[in-house]
């Protein structure tokens, strides 16, 4: 098997050969710039080299400013109890622990990937083998050197699908042996102290994107499966001073650790004022916080009025309303189809999210995903919906629609309930505060969930809809869907993957797995003079980058 370096030498290329193909597709209009950057940098091509392939230069807005040293920053966000990063289920958990435990790679606002604890990586020509090169000179805050043994131990832990709630196993794809639920024999190879090789039995294009997601925090090899907020061992510049769940958490510079790169703030305070956006705004008005985790709805203009700086990003973040198929009558596809026929996504976008996004199509693959395939428009037919519900014998069923008690999630679920009532459905709304909602988010019979942006369509489908995975809140299982997803996950050519994705999207619509009304534009506000606080497509906040202008 040829590795990347041999291919380079034989062909005289300065980038990955598949990246050359992507560059041609970009120039032909088949891939937009973000899609091109996602795919090429995931193969190990640097962002600078990727831009040069298409004759472009990185936008100045993507370059991080250098803040002054020192200061305290207060961030409005939810503060959850810590746990094993592999079972993190919300971005806020990663944002808090990121000052302690870091990541191998990160996803940037322009769509590119860059190394954090990895200095570089390379995929072979068919994406069955990845060579990961660690950044030299990195140490854990207990004095141990950061080595390939740590990375290999994390991969072993990520692959362990027997750990309840371990969503990283879905991100590892065929690296997980389906018979044992553990890492495949020979899949993880320690080459030397600073090099790890990952060997897949078939092509895998989503490894690097999966490693850039918030549950993939890298732990010391002796602490796999533990809570970093408790053991405190990491490569980051900060340490936890205090945490009170639902109230606040504080990170401070670790005086006993020499960090491998620059960090600027002395202190970061995470301030939890609940799920209600009105409370976020009130805390800003009272000068209790300096930046928001996110800003939504009518409060966007209100924060503008405070003179705070607004940051916006177009994403594949979304809100999904799903029926759990382990609960009758939602195990009947006709009932689920009836719900979708009765709902106009344009109405939910306007009433639920103030029109700040684009309509979705009930299959969770976004137009900004490289493999997105356009299908015929959805059908909105309330009369046909009620007839189908009656045919299924569920006309008397009471549809309890459960949502979080916050702004757009509550409003969107309210709008869906109103449309179902207008079509003749019996509907009750159940609204649960955030303190308890997430305890059972995967098992409510009919509920709504926010889903983060993912760089590839196959990523989100593997995480949320493959049979038996930890985050499959719809309890969906379709062998034909799984087989097509396996096929799509290994195809690098955009056009070929799109053909398979069209079939996958159609299955999702036909099986009425979800009602997905819209894709979200995301917003964040912060006071003037705070640097590198722009909204991230995946809600990431890296405290190492934050600081104040000199």
pLDDT digits (tens, 9 = 90+) for 40-59: 888 888 888 888 888 887 65
Contact 502, 373 (CB under 8 A): yes
> In the structure, what pLDDT confidence band is assigned to residue 120 with cuts at 50, 70 and 90?
very high
Mean pLDDT, rounded, for 428-437: 88
Position 8 pLDDT exceeds 70: no
* Domain annotation for the chain: domains and CATH numbers: 4-62 (no CATH), 314-521 (3.10.105.10)
> In the structure, what pLDDT confidence band is assigned to residue 1 with cuts at 50, 70 and 90?
very low
| Confidence (pLDDT) at 155 | 98
Which has more confidence, 52 or 278? 278
Closest C-alpha among 477, 80, 25 to residue 245: 80
Position 406 pLDDT exceeds 80: no
Predicted TM-score (pTM) of the model is: 0.87
| Confidence (pLDDT) at 45 | 86
> In the structure, what pLDDT confidence band is assigned to residue 62 with cuts at 50, 70 and 90?
low
Mean pLDDT, rounded, for 132-156: 98
How far is 181 from 177, CA to CA, in rounded Å?
5
Q: Out of 352-356, 432-436, 499-503, 516-520, which region has the weakest mean confidence (pLDDT)?
A: 432-436
> In the structure, what pLDDT confidence band is assigned to residue 419 with cuts at 50, 70 and 90?
very high
User: Which tokens go with 466?
Assistant: 């493959």
Position 14 pLDDT exceeds 50: no
Compute CA distances 195 → 7, 46, 124, 125, 192, whole Å.
19, 18, 15, 19, 5
> What DSSP line would sit under 324-344, residue for residue?
-TTSTTTTSHHHHHHHHHT--
Contact 401, 429 (CB under 8 A): yes
Mean pLDDT of the chain: 92
CB-side neighbour CA atoms (13 Å) of 193: 8
CB-side neighbour CA atoms (13 Å) of 163: 22
| Confidence (pLDDT) at 3 | 41
> In the structure, what pLDDT confidence band is assigned to residue 166 with cuts at 50, 70 and 90?
very high
How far is 261 from 155, CA to CA, in rounded Å?
24
Coil, strand or helix: which one is 106? strand
- Rounded to the nearest 5°, which phi and psi values hold at 547? 175, -175
| Confidence (pLDDT) at 59 | 59
| Confidence (pLDDT) at 60 | 46
Mean pLDDT, rounded, for 342-352: 96
Q: Percent of the chain at pLDDT above 70?
A: 96
Position 13 pLDDT exceeds 80: no
Q: Which residue has the tokens 């065929």?
A: 174
Mean pLDDT, rounded, for 59-85: 89
Mean pLDDT, rounded, for 105-112: 91
Contact 499, 487 (CB under 8 A): no
Element (H, E) at 499: helix 494-510
| Confidence (pLDDT) at 512 | 98
Which has more confidence, 61 or 274? 274
> In the structure, what pLDDT confidence band is assigned to residue 15 with cuts at 50, 70 and 90?
low
Contact 320, 454 (CB under 8 A): no
């Amino acid at each position: 098997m040829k590795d990347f370096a041999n291919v380079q030498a034989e062909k005289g290329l300065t980038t990955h050969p598949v990246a050359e193909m992507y560059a041609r597709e970009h120039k032909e209009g088949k891939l937009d710039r973000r899609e091109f950057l996602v795919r090429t940098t995931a193969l190990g091509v640097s962002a600078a080299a990727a831009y040069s392939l298409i004759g472009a230069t990185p936008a100045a807005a993507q370059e991080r400013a250098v803040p002054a040293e020192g200061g305290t920053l207060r961030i409005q966000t939810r503060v959850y109890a810590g746990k094993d990063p592999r079972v993190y289920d919300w971005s806020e958990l990663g944002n808090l622990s990121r000052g302690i435990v870091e990541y191998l790679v990160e996803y940037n606002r322009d769509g590119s990937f860059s190394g954090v604890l990895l200095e570089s990586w390379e995929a072979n020509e068919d994406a069955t083998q990845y060579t990961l090169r660690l950044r030299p000179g990195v140490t854990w805050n207990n004095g141990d050197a950061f080595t390939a043994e740590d990375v290999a131990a994390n991969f072993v832990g990520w692959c362990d699908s027997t750990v309840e709630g371990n969503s990283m196993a879905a991100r590892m794809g065929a690296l997980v042996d389906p018979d044992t639920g553990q890492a495949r024999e020979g899949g993880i190879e320690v080459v030397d102290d600073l090099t790890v090789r990952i060997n897949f039995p078939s092509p895998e294009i989503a490894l690097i994107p999966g490693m850039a997601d918030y549950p993939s925090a890298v732990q010391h090899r002796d602490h796999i499966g533990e809570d970093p907020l408790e053991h405190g061992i990491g490569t980051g510049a900060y340490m936890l001073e205090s945490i009170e769940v639902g109230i606040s958490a504080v990170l401070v510079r670790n005086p006993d650790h020499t960090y491998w790169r620059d960090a600027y703030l002395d202190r970061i305070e995470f301030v939890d004022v609940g799920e209600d956006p009105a409370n976020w705004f009130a805390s800003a008005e009272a000068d209790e916080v300096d930046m928001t985790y996110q800003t939504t709805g009518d409060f966007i203009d209100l924060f503008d009025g405070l003179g705070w700086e607004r940051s916006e990003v177009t994403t594949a973040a979304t809100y999904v309303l799903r029926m759990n198929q382990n609960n009758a009558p939602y195990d009947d596809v006709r009932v689920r189809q009836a719900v979708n026929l009765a709902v106009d996504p344009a109405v939910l976008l306007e009433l639920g999210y103030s029109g700040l996004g684009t309509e979705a199509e009930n299959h969770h693959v976004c137009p900004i995903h490289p493999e997105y395939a356009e299908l015929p428009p959805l059908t909105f037919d309330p009369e046909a919906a009620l007839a189908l519900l009656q045919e299924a014998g569920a006309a008397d069923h009471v549809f309890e629609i459960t949502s979080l008690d916050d702004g757009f999630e509550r409003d969107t679920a309210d709008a869906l309930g109103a449309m179902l009532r207008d079509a003749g459905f019996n509907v009750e709304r159940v609204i649960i505060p955030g303190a308890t909602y997430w305890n059972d988010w995967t098992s409510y019979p009919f509920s709504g969930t926010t889903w983060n942006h993912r760089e590839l369509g196959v990523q989100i489908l593997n995480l949320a809809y493959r049979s038996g995975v930890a985050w499959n809140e719809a309890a969906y299982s379709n062998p034909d869907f799984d087989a097509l997803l396996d096929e799509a996950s290994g195809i690098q050519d955009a056009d070929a993957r799109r053909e398979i994705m069209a079939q996958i999207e159609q299955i999702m619509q036909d099986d009425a797995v979800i009602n997905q009304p819209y894709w979200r534009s995301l917003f964040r506000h912060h006071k003037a003079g705070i640097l590198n606080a722009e909204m991230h497509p995946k809600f990431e906040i890296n405290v190492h980058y934050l600081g104040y202008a000199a």
